[in-house]
Structure 1
């Protein structure tokens, strides 16, 4: 299984970055390309972030929310927004420039190669840094355009609410959340509570032993996936 693949089809995962108009315009202008693999790059990016966090051996969580500002979540360490989606678009733009320069006699080809190299390394370092934020208590918070909003997030206590059912994607059955969460700690319980309250939320939870699990809200229903490949 490739690093970017998940063993389950999680609804709406591919819409984390919603607006590619700028990128498509750049690609069509420079190299007449489209972006058929853009979603693959999103999954690769998430995989790299999660791998860095898992390697720390601390455990952690990553919450991807439509609007973090309106979620029942307190962010202990808010930061100036870091737009990972924009940086991914920059990487694709540098690739299109490289492709265009290689198609004809162009003295700027080496410059295009260097631009692509620098952009790719910057993107990789950024993903590694985001993964390391999981070492702080609480969850790392991003929106669905892959804009990093902060870390140290914790769900508001009054938002935990009453437990309902959770749909286990492995067994394809609905399981009472009280039973599903019985053997898990506070990270998993908070992830479930957040997804129960926030439509289209995704929360990746990493246990200290390195297991990776996912909670997701699909039109009001909370989905659960375990033993994810990263």
Structure 2
């Protein structure tokens, strides 16, 4: 990478602090250029690069790298970074940026990662909404256990507080139907729960023996007994309808 490109990245990381910066390195007429992007995330510990900005930059040339910063943290990639890097199909650069004791913000080390077949474990994965969340776990379970690729759906952090009923509005498009009266739970059934919300905002996968696999907001994914609190807050249970079932 050219020194001028790296300096532009470091400068952006410093100006964006304490939020994460994000941007793209694009090759235009065989010369690289760093293009700053808007971080549409509401928090300070992740980034969302708007699709319309990505498309606009893609029209300028070949996108060769995704860039973002880690404020007050090491440049080492998080589990969510590695998952998102795989999904992007592009190399990533991560910049460490910190405020020192004197109040000066400075960029420090950088780390580079590239797609290499990484897949987060189903149990014990960290939480990052939109990258590693309860619906991601459902999709990954179906990919690993059933060789089924479920549709993904765009979701902003906190959508359940804005009245969006994403699960109920989209489960049929993802290939599911609700269980009917008298049907027993089967491995792979998806449990939709309504947790301190007006809409169904949490999903788990029934894995047999009275257990479900789920990923709570801000927690590690885990197995848990499906009963008590979770049963009381269940909105509906869904079953995947494959080609054989019509």
TM-score under structure 2 length normalisation: 0.26
TM-score under structure 1 length normalisation: 0.27
